[in-house]
Amino acid sequence: MKIEKQYIIQAVTIAANNLRLSSEKIEVVSLFKKHLNNCEDIESEISRMKKITELSKLAVKLGRLIEYIKSDHIDFLRLTETFKEQSHTLTIELSNMLDFVTPAKFKEITNKLSEQEIPVQLKQNVQREEALDKIQEKVEVSENSILNKEEKSKITKEQLDQIERKKQEFLFEDLEKEEEFDFENYEKTILAPVKKLEDLLKRFPQKEFLEEEVDDFMEKMLFNSNFSYKVGFDIIGKMHKIIASALLAIKNDEIASSEDTAEGIRACLIVIVAVVRGKEVDISNYLKKAEKFSKIVLKEN
């Protein structure tokens, strides 16, 4: 077993031992450790977990442990102490995850992770083959352009270096655009408009707001909805979609900016904040209220 995998699994074990767990939660921990143990590339698997709502915050913590154990600056004299500290930091996020995930739900999640892995691998293989073909084409073009001017036997070192530079330029092309999903940045983006939107909701019954304010929040909610769906946070994506649809309906005078409307939007906001921050609170009533509100603004049956 690779040191990274062993380090992560043992850290999860220590974190679980710090909790009082029911038999069901113990089963989820066992399934989670078994899944980590069976995955071929634990670093890639943790990256995929960051896109699963129920696992995202725990996966962020595990990702930091991976970065630490793979770094060149490990203080082996403090390794045991550091390991205990890092295991302790997992406890809260592991507890939050276990509050939402049952054994059946975890099996659904692992199936979803498996479905993500296959297309990614196929895409990477296709992209790799296409990239190699393009490199070969560029090299051939470079070589031909040189050979058309001089005989092959007279190719200089400078010209050969030029060909190599073209290869490297292609290989590093658009590399900066390929950034991994950053949960902390996502959390900041999602939570940024919440307080100001709550202030707007307080003014709804008196209609003390401008159309420009509604437009601004509607645009932000649509962006955050698309962002959430894109990274796999479907619950958060739907809550933003409901809010955006409600704001559009208010703008078009299809529904009133009443106290009931404000409460419907507020329920969606509470669900968003609770899920993103992993708060240990019962949000079932707010989920029901948000679903009921969605049938009005999304015209669901």
Say how many domains are in the chain. Answer: 3
Amino acid at 227: F
On whether both 142 and 92 belong to a single domain, the answer is no
Query: Residue 110 has what pLDDT?
Result: 87
Q: Does residue 62 form part of some domain?
A: yes
Range of the domain at 242: 183-297
- Asked whether 58 and 97 are in contact (CB, 8 A), the reply is yes
Look at 192 and 132; give whichever has higher pLDDT: 192
Segment (H or E) for 234: helix 234-251
| Cα–Cα distance for residue pair 231/182, rounded to 1 Å | 10
On whether both 251 and 167 belong to a single domain, the answer is no
Cα 139 to its chain centre, rounded Å, is 38
Query: Residue 217 has what pLDDT?
Result: 94
| Cα–Cα distance for residue pair 139/167, rounded to 1 Å | 7
Query: Residue 294 has what pLDDT?
Result: 92
Cα 219 to its chain centre, rounded Å, is 21
On whether both 191 and 284 belong to a single domain, the answer is yes
Which structure tokens are listed for 214?
Answer: 């509604």
Confidence of residue 218 (pLDDT cuts 50, 70, 90): very high
Q: Is the pTM of this model over 0.85?
A: no
On whether both 131 and 207 belong to a single domain, the answer is no
| Cα–Cα distance for residue pair 137/132, rounded to 1 Å | 9
Q: Does residue 204 form part of some domain?
A: yes
On whether both 18 and 81 belong to a single domain, the answer is yes
Cα distances (Å, whole numbers) of residue 198 to 91, 190, 264, 266: 32, 14, 12, 7
On whether both 172 and 190 belong to a single domain, the answer is no
On whether both 137 and 52 belong to a single domain, the answer is no
Query: Residue 159 has what pLDDT?
Result: 62
pLDDT in tens, 118-157: 444 444 445 555 554 554 554 454 445 444 444 444 456 6
Query: Residue 174 has what pLDDT?
Result: 45
Q: Does residue 121 form part of some domain?
A: yes
On whether both 65 and 44 belong to a single domain, the answer is yes
- Asked whether 166 and 143 are in contact (CB, 8 A), the reply is no
Query: Residue 119 has what pLDDT?
Result: 47
Comparing CA positions, the residue from 39, 79, 80, 86 lying closest to residue 58 is 86
pLDDT in tens, 67-102: 888 876 677 677 777 787 888 888 888 988 998 899
Q: Does residue 106 form part of some domain?
A: no
Query: Which of 161, 177, 193 is at the close of a domain?
Result: 177
Report the share of the chain in percent with pLDDT over 90: 29
On whether both 39 and 93 belong to a single domain, the answer is yes
On whether both 275 and 251 belong to a single domain, the answer is yes
Write the Ramachandran bin of 19: left for phi over 0, alpha for psi from -120 to 50, otherwise beta: beta
Q: Does residue 139 form part of some domain?
A: yes
Give backbone dihedrals phi and psi of 36, rounded to 5 degrees, phi first: -60, -40
On whether both 53 and 14 belong to a single domain, the answer is yes
Query: Which of 144, 177, 210 is at the close of a domain?
Result: 177
Cα 77 to its chain centre, rounded Å, is 35
Query: Which of 101, 128, 149 is at the close of a domain?
Result: 101
User: What is the CATH number for 196?
Assistant: 1.20.120
Q: Does residue 107 form part of some domain?
A: no
Average pLDDT over the chain, rounded to whole?
A: 79
Comparing CA positions, the residue from 144, 54, 160, 170 lying closest to residue 108 is 54
Q: Does residue 94 form part of some domain?
A: yes
pLDDT in tens, 19-59: 888 888 888 998 999 999 888 888 889 989 988 888 988 99
Q: Does residue 37 form part of some domain?
A: yes
On whether both 282 and 191 belong to a single domain, the answer is yes
